[in-house]
Amino acid sequence: MVTISEARAAAENHQLEELADRPSIFLQFGRFLRKQPLGSVGLLIVILMVLTAVFAPYMSSFSPTANSFESMLQAPGIPYLLGTDEFGRDVLTRIMYGARTALTVGLVTALIGTTLGLVLGVASAYFGGKVDLIFQRIMDVFMAFPLIILALAVVSIFGTGVQNVILAIIIPFIPRAARVVRSSALAIREIPYIDAARANGFSNSRIILRHMVPNVMAPYLIMLTASVGQAILLEASLSFLGLGVQEPTPAWGLMLRNAQDYIESAPWVAIWPGVAITLAVFGFNIFGDAVRDALDPRLRSQ
């Protein structure tokens, strides 16, 4: 007859064996880079963008906001490697500092928007019934509008500026993340351990946050990585339309807006901000696709 202590020791040994057989984080990361070469390129772009944003003050000796009227619209060369804009500001320096604006808006909006969508989507699936029906109809109203239209409506109400741009992008992200997460949470709600948690008298908030949310992290992470690129593109679009970041804050969309009158005489003023936006969105999108392939069991087994 097996005693309780022996059974407990056997369970602990089994857990230790599972941990020993599990590959290390570095090994898993190496497999990811080997199996997802395009995703590795996206990750490299993201890392370079982050490093540029962090070390921008050390990589350039020019100010991103100080005007120099004797250096207006100078062609690329020494000392202005990518030329200057209509106010004599170094284009390369403003692109470096613009990475800060893009990352701040992109990461904050993606993190807050998808996290709120995660909690609301799981709660909607958990309660079901009329609560789920009413919540989904409200989400349908928000999703009926394209992202840029809804963001424009929010900015027109609250005004321009970085904080209002962040708010304008967060609101459209919430229903999209909630809809994706809810589809996974509906299946988890039917698993027996949820019924066991209810039978043990756990509160609804504890069941949602501690038992359901951790099991829908895969679609959440996929939405999170994909939303960063969308947020950067939305911020650039709003700034280009004059409803986003305002001067003298360096932002890629704002640089494109100011370059409209100089496309023929000074094309570098428009080319390089456009290249920066393209690379950033491309990097986050292909990295997000790689994360999706790595986390989806059906794609991982192929």
Tens digit of each residue's pLDDT (9 = 90 or more) over 1-22: 445 454 444 444 544 444 445 5
pLDDT tens string 145-190: 888 888 888 888 888 888 889 999 999 899 989 988 888 888 888 8
Which two three-digit tokens encode residue 53?
């944003």
- Between 272 and 19, the more confident residue is 272
Torsion of CA 171, 172, 174, 180, to 10 degrees: 180
**Per-residue pLDDT at 297:** 52
Evaluate if residue 213 carries a pLDDT over 70: yes
The stretch 205-213 carries a mean pLDDT of 83
> Cα–Cα distance between 238 and 256 in angstroms, integer?
11
When the pLDDT of each residue in the chain is averaged and rounded to a whole number, the result is 83
In angstroms, the CA 30 to CA 34 distance is 6
- Residue linked to tokens 């120099």: 68
- Across residues 65-71, what is the average pLDDT? 86
Structure tokens at 274: 């456009």
Please, which pLDDT band fits residue 296 given cuts at 50, 70 and 90?
A: low
Under the banding of pLDDT at 50, 70 and 90, the label for residue 26 is low
Which stretches of the chain are DSSP H helices?
A: 4-21, 25-35, 37-54, 56-59, 91-127, 129-143, 147-158, 162-189, 192-199, 204-206, 217-240, 252-258, 268-295, 297-300
| Lowest mean pLDDT segment, chosen from 11-15, 41-45, 168-172, 266-270 | 11-15
Mean pLDDT over 104-131 rounds to: 90
Domains in the chain, CATH or no CATH each: 38-300 (1.10.3720.10)
pLDDT class of 48 with cuts at 50, 70, 90? very high
Q: How far is CA 300 from the centre of its chain?
A: 23
Output the pLDDT for position 102.
Answer: 93
pLDDT for 136 beyond 60: yes
pLDDT of residue 298 exceeding 80, the answer is no
For residue 299, the model assigns a pLDDT of: 47
Q: Which of 84-93, 114-123, 186-195, 264-273 has the lowest mean pLDDT?
A: 186-195
pLDDT reported for residue 236: 92
